[in-house]
Amino acid sequence: PKGGQKTVLIMMSNTGGGHKASAEALQQAFREEYGDQYKIIIVDMWKEHTPAPFNTLCDSYSFLVRHSILWRLTYNMMQPRPLHRSYFAAVNAAVSRQLSAAFDAYDPDLVVSVHPLMQHIPVRVLASRARARGEAPPPFATVVTDFTTCHNTWFYPAVTRCFVPTAFCRSLALENGVPADKITVHGLPIRPIFSKRLPAKATLRRKLGLVNDAPAILLVGGGEGMGKLEATVRELDARLQGSAQVAVICGRNKKLLNTLRSTVWPGGSHVVAVGFVDNVHEWMAAVDTIITKAGPGTIAEALISGLPILLNGNVPCQEEGNIPYVVENGVGAFETDPVRIADIMATWLGPSPEARAEFAAMAKRSKALGRPRAVYNIARDLAGLVESAKELAVEVAAAAAAPARRACCS
């Protein structure tokens, strides 16, 4: 009935924007590489296919992450394996019937999880569903979308494959019992558009309303426009006095956008503010450096774009390891105070030849660390999993048929 087309079910959840973005990046890479050979279905399994209260995971996350002490407690309490395994075992009893029915409906040839809470239960549900049907479960892959510090629930030894973005994540996967031959390090799956050739910087700057005769700083705070963005623009304006221009992507933070647009900057800086945009790749290619919270997506995109990165904050727990990653790899710095952020920018973009050389070296190291092909490499390996499962199914069918043939010939 599927006409040879294979179905890949990607399970995500909108806890933060990154999981959905990674799922969509994989979907685009599949489409580019394999056309309609694969049907990619992206589903929030918790929201769509579990009963209350489990279907309110997103709301609980938004609440917890805004109250960092609560988030730290929840995150750390669930770290020990015996604890989260017993928790998942108990939850499994409440959600397995509905999840199993969803797997029946989607009938996937491959299941991919891009979420830390979607390994243990789905793998078990798929296994018991397959046992009941007397067939092998579809292959199951985890694609980790945190960059360095990852919650232990990302890692479940029984998965078929586990894709991680960095060597640090690989070591966490190993510590959590995932066998080495199941772990692949490709990088984060970033939208394919980031690996395409773009118009020249000057052309992009004209298009985006930036000027060509001053260095440009991009300021972002993830999809929600989080952090001290307004204070940072004010300090940059005061410190740089118009010697550099500032582009601010406010994301979904409408209040910030309105404030920035209606402000006259006393230092005379050229400030361009936009809301949620779908061309972050163009903004990154048009500027010289970025100030951002330590979001994995934005960091990976900035590396692909070869930008020195000034991190100005982080979501507690899962973004913490991204700070030493940026600093120790010599691609940027960490500073939360807007006044000192402006000082660092004044040095990075200042006239001193040593500072210029160091800034250029940072940009070069950043580009070298970027993984623009990661999304394609992951998609190719995922397609490989579907193919090997197909071959295995043919072998199993042949083996099952063999005794029958022998019996009929004797």
Min CB(226)–ligand UDP separation in Å: 7
Min CB(66)–ligand UDP separation in Å: 12
Task: Give the H/E segment covering residue 108.
Answer: none
Min CB(327)–ligand UDP separation in Å: 17
CA 129 from centre of chain: 30
Residue of the chain from 108, 122, 139, 222 that contacts ligand UDP (CB under 6 A): 222
Residue of the chain from 229, 301, 349, 379 that contacts ligand UDP (CB under 6 A): 301
Min CB(224)–ligand UDP separation in Å: 6
Residue of the chain from 137, 189, 227, 296 that contacts ligand UDP (CB under 6 A): 296
165 scored as a contact of ligand UDP (CB under 6 A) = no
DSSP string covering 319-382: TTTHHHHHHHTTSEEE---HHHHHHHHHHHTSS-HHHHHHHHHHHHHHHHH--TTHHHHHHHHH
Among the candidate windows 11-19, 40-48, 71-79, 158-166, which touches ligand UDP by CB under 6 A?
A: 11-19
295 scored as a contact of ligand UDP (CB under 6 A) = yes
If you ran DSSP here, which 8-state letter would residue 54 be given? G
Which of 42, 346, 371, 403 lies closest to 194, judged by CA?
Answer: 371
Are 278 and 249 in contact by the 8 Å Cβ rule? The answer is: no
Residue of the chain from 27, 245, 298, 366 that contacts ligand UDP (CB under 6 A): 298
CB-nearer residue toward ligand UDP: 20 or 129? 20
Residues that contact ligand UDP, how many (by CB under 6 A)? 18
Q: What amino acid is encoded at 12 in this protein?
A: M
16 scored as a contact of ligand UDP (CB under 6 A) = yes
Residue of the chain from 277, 327, 346, 355 that contacts ligand UDP (CB under 6 A): 277
CB-nearer residue toward ligand UDP: 95 or 218? 218
17 scored as a contact of ligand UDP (CB under 6 A) = yes
Residue of the chain from 223, 321, 370, 372 that contacts ligand UDP (CB under 6 A): 223
**Which residues in the 236-255 window bind ligand UDP by CB under 6 A?**
249, 251
Min CB(402)–ligand UDP separation in Å: 51
Residue 6 sits at φ, ψ, to 5 deg, of -100, 145
139 scored as a contact of ligand UDP (CB under 6 A) = no
CB-nearer residue toward ligand UDP: 21 or 29? 21
CB-nearer residue toward ligand UDP: 224 or 387? 224
187 scored as a contact of ligand UDP (CB under 6 A) = no
318 scored as a contact of ligand UDP (CB under 6 A) = no
Number of Cβ within a 10 Å radius of residue 49: 20
SS3 call for 107:
coil
Residue of the chain from 87, 265, 276, 334 that contacts ligand UDP (CB under 6 A): 276
CB-nearer residue toward ligand UDP: 160 or 298? 298
Task: Give the H/E segment covering residue 152.
Answer: none
Among the candidate windows 153-161, 209-217, 222-230, 334-342, which touches ligand UDP by CB under 6 A?
A: 222-230
Residue of the chain from 8, 9, 21, 233 that contacts ligand UDP (CB under 6 A): 21
Please give the angle made by the CA atoms of 157, 158 and 164, to the nearest 5 degrees.
55
If you ran DSSP here, which 8-state letter would residue 14 be given? -
| Integer Rg of the chain from CA | 24
Number of Cβ within a 10 Å radius of residue 16: 23
Which of 130, 137, 177 lies closest to 153, judged by CA?
Answer: 177
316 scored as a contact of ligand UDP (CB under 6 A) = no
Residue of the chain from 15, 18, 140, 382 that contacts ligand UDP (CB under 6 A): 18
Are 306 and 326 in contact by the 8 Å Cβ rule? The answer is: no
Task: Give the distance between the most distant pair of CA atoms in the chain.
Answer: 96
**Which strands sit side by side in the sheet containing 110-113, from one edge to the other?**
38-44, 6-12, 110-113, 140-143, 161-164, 183-185
Min CB(142)–ligand UDP separation in Å: 18
44 scored as a contact of ligand UDP (CB under 6 A) = no
CA distance 196 to 205: 17
Number of Cβ within a 10 Å radius of residue 368: 11
Which of 295, 339, 340, 343 lies closest to 315, judged by CA?
Answer: 295
Q: How many helices and strands in the chain, by DSSP H and E?
A: 16, 12
Question: What residue ranges bind ligand UDP (CB under 6 A)?
Answer: 16-18, 21, 222-224, 249, 251, 276-278, 280, 295-298, 301
